[in-house]
Amino acid sequence: MSATIISEESAESVELVDQPSIWSRLIRHPSVVIGGVLIALIVSLVPAAPLITTLDPTDISPRNRNKPPGFETVHRDDEGTKYTVVAHMGTDKLGRDVYSRVIHGAKVSLIVGVSVALISISIGLFTGMLAGYFRLIDAVVMRVMDGLMAIPSILLAIALVSLSGASLLTVIIAIVIPEIPRVVRLVRSIVLTIREEPYVEAAISVGTPTWKILLRHVLPNTIAPLIVQGTFICGSAILLEAILSFLGVGVPPEIPTWGNIMAQGRDLFQIYPHSIFYPGIFLTLTVLAINMLGDGLRDTIDPRMSKEI
Amino acid sequence: MTTTEQEPVLSVSGLTIDLPRNADRKHAVENISFDVAPGEVVCLVGESGSGKSVIAFSVMGLLASALQVSRGSIKLQGTELTELDDDAMRALRCTRMGMIFQEPMTALNPVMNCGDQIDEVLQEHTDLSSAQRRSKVLAMIEQVHLPDPERMYSAYPHQLSGGQRQRIMIAMALILEPVVLIADEPTTALDVTTQAQILQLIRELQAERQTGVLFITHDFGVVAELADRVAVLKQGQLVEFGTTQQVLANPQHAYTKMLIASVPRHEPPVRRVIADDAPVVLQTENLAKRYVSYGFAGANNVVDAAVDVSIEIRRGETLGIVGESGSGKSTVARCITWLIESSDGKIWLAGDNIAELSKEQLRSLRRKVQIVFQDPYRSLNPRRTVGQSIIEGPMNYGISHREAIADARELMQLVQLDPDGLDRYPHQFSGGQRQRICIARALAMKPDLLVADEAVSALDVSVQAQVLKLLEEIRDRMQLAMLFITHDLRVAAQVCDVVAVMSKGRVVEYGPARELFNNPQHEYTQALFEAAPGRHFEFAR
């Protein structure tokens, strides 16, 4: 063949298609920016909690019970010297400072949200890939998943707590288990379509071993929708943790979490609404921010799932 | 049939439509003027991206919101369409202009039966009673020559064949006797025999009703078959407009000439003789593939995708498998490349019966058979660079990264692409360039047999001609055996030494291309050749 024959098409050579990079699209999307900034602020509360609060969130102070927001509470340090602290969000029925409890409570919520998202995505991704790619595994795995999906997380949490006692780990397990089948189904459906793509068949015909096909060709194409799904799981896990704690089957009551604070404010809610109101605001903001970020991510990195297109 | 004295039913003048700011060019179409007289068929012909569909959608008022008509006018029987609001446009659609689309499956609502879908048009635009509407719909179904109108009325789209669905679309578009019919590639998704019937139906109905037709196509065969006048578009510009005879037989513009020259001829050229002692690379013996789906009562659905296929390809030879959709030609290709397992028969590759080989032996033989797929947009992993895709195969067989990259650079040159493109991602290449990359990926394995499964079907005709030429050069240079699967008889005529015609899973005719094309024996082959559009024109012979 003569290399001199340059076809019209190749003569135009390789032109770079000018597409804005993923980052520039991300930082231009309003809900990514708003959600991201809010989440950054809430995450920064965790390391900053000891600096911006002066009181121990678990300190009981009988004389300061049920004080409204803005009340100056009086405390004594170890040497017996008196000092006053303004309770920005009031105190609860045991005289604990709601402000420090809410700020410290962010930690548990975020730990639950992030770990549930990570654990359920990694287990779900692995299982879903196998189920989607191998038909024999599919038949078995999906029936197991159908079974798991039938377990309500609240009942599961109650059962686990009654078996092994309330702890952070129990809560995470109770939320993860019903979440896994949802991820598996998502991953499986993506893998089922990718498996039929000609580029996968091309990889088969150039002799690529199956595990490499899964790793190189299938896995990278599932990541975008999974990141999006991960944010939604994170948001719903935080909510679910609050619900479980509120019901008294979640994290032990002495640990401050938003759900626990609300649970303890429940009896006197009508007279002293502040101990439910403030953790409620933080919970709402956090979940809203995560969902906004998730929506924005979906629009920018995974346009197939976007409603706008 | 040019009736220039008559007032045109549709006249487009100076039409310019802007593209969004970050697009590759400023206007989707620029300064387009043409008209359609009553009872006349005007074909808009051009390659992908030429703006032909944009014109159709702007006439129908269905442009995507990102596109704006910036200048020019579109007049339907004197009514200026560009100034009408949505409601006024809605009233005009179906009543005075109808449209049929490329893909009849997606253009019809899958959960409504066909009769009700046609009836919907009448409900929206007329005051007829339901009994009157029903009889009108049934009459229309009969006019588009569908058998058993009552049954068709209650059939759902998935129960019909592609051609029948397109007839339903035509019935829907024409039931209110619009003055203009806009057809956007309505036969592109259909088999060639079905295409011939649909073209004939459109011809018949528009002559009977004196409908003006704006027909959009990329296929010069269809143009020759149907058009009274032809408008040739290139990247949003109208480069030539004239009667079919003028444009096809005596094109003026260089672009039109190039397009027409790229259309593969129907007549196979004289080919160099393959020596009788050239080694046989691949041979199949009664190859069969049967799909069985199991229900509660055992096997309940048996489909024979391929039956008794016996073919043979020698080194340096191209065997074409020609057939319509569902004929089993791709099944054969996939059995031969071991993407699926054949259910019966033998496949001999260089003397080895692959059914008798162990997994290890198969793996080492696998590289000898490589395949190029139809869809250039889906055959490359979008998240891997072109280089990674090309070197994947050789590295699976133990070639070092550096050596593989050096080979890949050579291959890029061989397929006439810039070797620096190896670091780019597939989306940065055009369809034709991607298909070259796929060819390079297949060649990187140094195969004995290259299978091209509809490898040029998705490409524009000018790009198609280049890729075909490239394939032929590569075959000669590397002394490959080639299995060329296509539905396009012209393409097969141009590149194949030997042709096998398949129908319903069986090879119905098998022989040297020149003999088979000049003197087809089997009635199916004859029907296929008969149906090929535009044979009466010089360029298509």
Task: Please state the pTM of the whole predicted model.
Answer: 0.81
Q: Which helix (H) or strand (E) holds B438?
A: helix B431-443
Res A41: pLDDT: 92
Does the structure show a pLDDT above 70 at B26? yes
Per-residue pLDDT tens over the stretch B112-129: 999 999 999 999 888 999
Positive/negative CA dihedral, B275, B278, B281, B286? positive
Which of A1, A9, A15 is facing B414, going by the closest CB pair? A1
- Across the interface, whether the CB atoms of B371 and A205 are under 8 A apart is answered yes
Rg (CA), chain B: 25
Q: Which residues of B touch A7 (CB under 8 A)?
A: 416, 466
Distance from CA of B472 to the nearest CA of A (A): 10
Q: In what order do the strands lie in the sheet with B27-36?
A: B27-36, B10-18, B68-76, B79-80
- Across the interface, whether the CB atoms of A205 and B384 are under 8 A apart is answered no
Q: How confident is the model at residue A128 (pLDDT cuts 50, 70, 90)?
A: very high
Res B78: pLDDT: 86
Q: Rounded mean pLDDT of A54-60?
A: 80
Q: Rounded mean pLDDT of A220-248?
A: 88
Q: How confident is the model at residue B106 (pLDDT cuts 50, 70, 90)?
A: confident
Res B68: pLDDT: 83
DSSP strands (E only) in chain A:
71-76, 82-87
The nearest alpha carbon in chain B to A203 belongs to B393
| Closest by CA position to B227, among listed B12, B11, B45 | B45
Structure tokens at B328: 């089993």
Q: How confident is the model at residue A19 (pLDDT cuts 50, 70, 90)?
A: low
Distance of CA B514 to the CA centre of its chain: 24
Q: Which residues of B touch A202 (CB under 8 A)?
A: 371, 373, 379-380, 389, 438, 441
Res A2: pLDDT: 36
The percent of residues in chain B predicted with pLDDT above 70, rounded, is 97
Q: Rounded distance, CA A197 to CA A65, Å? A: 65
Res A59: pLDDT: 80
Q: Rounded distance, CA B245 to CA B227, Å? A: 9
Per-residue pLDDT tens over the stretch A257-287: 888 888 888 888 888 888 889 989 999 999 9
Half-sphere exposure of residue B314: CA atoms within 13 angstroms, side-chain side: 12
Does the structure show a pLDDT above 50 at A9? no
Q: Rounded distance, CA A260 to CA A276, Å? A: 10
B101 domain-assigned = no
Q: Helix, strand or coil for residue B139?
A: helix
- Across the interface, whether the CB atoms of A198 and B441 are under 8 A apart is answered no
Distance from CA of B511 to the nearest CA of A (A): 29
A302 CB within 8 Å of a chain B CB: no
Does the structure show a pLDDT above 90 at B231? yes
Per-residue pLDDT tens over the stretch B156-175: 988 888 888 989 999 999 89
Question: Which candidate in B330, B373, B381 is best for mutational testing of the A interface (most A CBs within 10 A)?
Answer: B381
CATH number at residue B85: 3.40.50.300
Beta strand pairing call for B369-372 and B352-353: unpaired
Distance from CA of B115 to the nearest CA of A (A): 31
Res B70: pLDDT: 87
Q: Are B18 and B26 in contact (CB under 8 A)?
A: yes
Q: Rounded distance, CA A98 to CA B39, Å? A: 82
A216 CB within 8 Å of a chain B CB: yes
A11 CB within 8 Å of a chain B CB: no
- Across the interface, whether the CB atoms of B428 and A14 are under 8 A apart is answered yes
Which of B413, B420, B428 is facing A3, going by the closest CB pair? B413
- Longest CA–CA separation in chain A, Å: 96
Tell me which residues of chain A, numbers 86 to 105, contact chain B at a CB-CB cutoff of 8 Å. Answer: none
CA angle B533, B534, B536 (to 5 degrees): 130
The nearest alpha carbon in chain B to A223 belongs to B383
Give the ipTM of the model, two decimals please: 0.80
Distance from CA of A220 to the nearest CA of B (A): 7
Q: Rounded distance, CA A240 to CA B12, Å? A: 61
Last residue of a domain, one of B151, B177, B203: B177
Residue B450 shares a structural domain with residue B495: yes
- Across the interface, whether the CB atoms of A9 and B433 are under 8 A apart is answered yes
- Across the interface, whether the CB atoms of A197 and B421 are under 8 A apart is answered no
Which of A1, A10, A199 is facing B378, going by the closest CB pair? A199
Res B302: pLDDT: 82
Q: Rounded mean pLDDT of B63-79?
A: 86
Residue B474 shares a structural domain with residue B367: yes
Structure tokens at B490: 């012209």
Amino acid at A82: K
Does the structure show a pLDDT above 90 at A117? yes
Residue B213 shares a structural domain with residue B227: yes
The nearest alpha carbon in chain A to B335 belongs to A205
Residue B186 shares a structural domain with residue B167: no
Residue B242 shares a structural domain with residue B322: no
Q: Which residues of A touch B438 (CB under 8 A)?
A: 202
Res B529: pLDDT: 86
Structure tokens at B427: 């989306």
B291 C-beta neighbours (distance < 10 Å), count: 12
> Per mean pLDDT, which range of B19-28, B104-113, B172-181, B490-499 is the poorest?
B19-28
- Across the interface, whether the CB atoms of A206 and B370 are under 8 A apart is answered yes
Res B299: pLDDT: 64
- Across the interface, whether the CB atoms of B371 and A201 are under 8 A apart is answered yes
Q: Are B342 and B305 in contact (CB under 8 A)?
A: no
Distance from CA of B454 to the nearest CA of A (A): 13
Residue-averaged pLDDT of chain B: 87
DSSP 8-state symbol, A14: P
Does the structure show a pLDDT above 60 at B92? yes
Per-residue pLDDT tens over the stretch B297-340: 666 778 888 999 999 999 989 999 998 888 888 899 989 988 88
Size of interface A-B (CB pairs under 8 A): 102
Distance from CA of A127 to the nearest CA of B (A): 22
Res B363: pLDDT: 83
Positive/negative CA dihedral, B532, B533, B536, B541? negative
Which one has a higher pLDDT value, A115 or B429? A115
Q: Work out how many domains chain B is built from and give that number.
A: 3
Token match 């004196």: residue?
B210
- Across the interface, whether the CB atoms of B371 and A9 are under 8 A apart is answered no
Q: Are B309 and B288 in contact (CB under 8 A)?
A: yes
The set of residues, in sequence order, having a beta carbon less than 8 Å from that of A209 and lying 6+ positions away, is B396
Half-sphere exposure of residue B307: CA atoms within 13 angstroms, side-chain side: 10
Does the structure show a pLDDT above 80 at B293? no
| Closest by CA position to A97, among listed A108, A112, A84 | A84
> Per mean pLDDT, which range of B348-352, B413-417, B439-443, B471-475 is the poorest?
B348-352
Which one has a higher pLDDT value, A76 or B80? B80
Q: Rounded mean pLDDT of A235-245?
A: 88
- Across the interface, whether the CB atoms of A10 and B429 are under 8 A apart is answered no
- Across the interface, whether the CB atoms of B416 and A3 are under 8 A apart is answered yes
Distance from CA of B262 to the nearest CA of A (A): 13
Residue B535 shares a structural domain with residue B443: yes
Q: Which residues of B touch A194 (CB under 8 A)?
A: none
Q: Rounded distance, CA B468 to CA B494, Å? A: 9
Structure tokens at B177: 């006797």
Q: Tell me, which fold does domain A42-305 have in CATH?
A: MetI-like fold (1.10.3720)
Res A1: pLDDT: 36
- Across the interface, whether the CB atoms of B418 and A14 are under 8 A apart is answered yes
Distance from CA of B303 to the nearest CA of A (A): 20
Res A185: pLDDT: 93
Q: How confident is the model at residue A10 (pLDDT cuts 50, 70, 90)?
A: very low
Residue B366 shares a structural domain with residue B257: no
Does the structure show a pLDDT above 50 at A307? no
Does the structure show a pLDDT above 80 at A12? no
Q: Are B379 and B395 in contact (CB under 8 A)?
A: no
Does the structure show a pLDDT above 90 at B41? yes
Per-residue pLDDT tens over the stretch B401-424: 999 999 999 999 999 899 988 998
Question: Which candidate in B359, B360, B392, B413 is best for mutational testing of the A interface (most A CBs within 10 A)?
Answer: B392
Span between the terminal Cα atoms of chain A, in Å = 45
Q: Rounded distance, CA A106 to CA A258, Å? A: 7
Residue-averaged pLDDT of chain A: 84
Amino acid at A36: G
Q: Are A63 and A74 in contact (CB under 8 A)?
A: yes
Q: Rounded distance, CA A125 to CA A117, Å? A: 12
Q: Which residues of B touch A216 (CB under 8 A)?
A: 381, 384, 392
Q: Which residues of A touch B392 (CB under 8 A)?
A: 203, 206, 208, 216
Token match 């990718």: residue?
A194
The nearest alpha carbon in chain B to A206 belongs to B393
- Across the interface, whether the CB atoms of A199 and B393 are under 8 A apart is answered no
A206 CB within 8 Å of a chain B CB: yes
Q: Are A141 and A273 in contact (CB under 8 A)?
A: no
The nearest alpha carbon in chain B to A309 belongs to B64
Residue B129 shares a structural domain with residue B159: yes
A7 CB within 8 Å of a chain B CB: yes
Distance from CA of A214 to the nearest CA of B (A): 12
Domain that includes residue B191, residue range: 1-96+178-263
Q: Rounded mean pLDDT of A109-117?
A: 92
Per-residue pLDDT tens over the stretch A69-101: 888 888 887 888 888 888 888 888 888 888 888
Per-residue pLDDT tens over the stretch B249-276: 889 999 999 888 888 887 888 777 777 7
Which one has a higher pLDDT value, B22 or B71? B71
Q: Which residues of A touch B423 (CB under 8 A)?
A: none
Does the structure show a pLDDT above 60 at A303? no
Res A62: pLDDT: 81
- Across the interface, whether the CB atoms of B441 and A216 are under 8 A apart is answered no
Res B7: pLDDT: 84
Residue B117 shares a structural domain with residue B238: no
Residue B325 shares a structural domain with residue B459: yes
Does the structure show a pLDDT above 70 at A18? no
Distance from CA of A152 to the nearest CA of B (A): 33
Structure tokens at A273: 């609404």
B210 domain-assigned = yes
Does the structure show a pLDDT above 60 at A6? no
CA angle B124, B127, B130 (to 5 degrees): 90
A4 CB within 8 Å of a chain B CB: no
- Across the interface, whether the CB atoms of A221 and B438 are under 8 A apart is answered no
| Closest by CA position to B427, among listed B458, B461, B382 | B382
Does the structure show a pLDDT above 90 at A38? yes
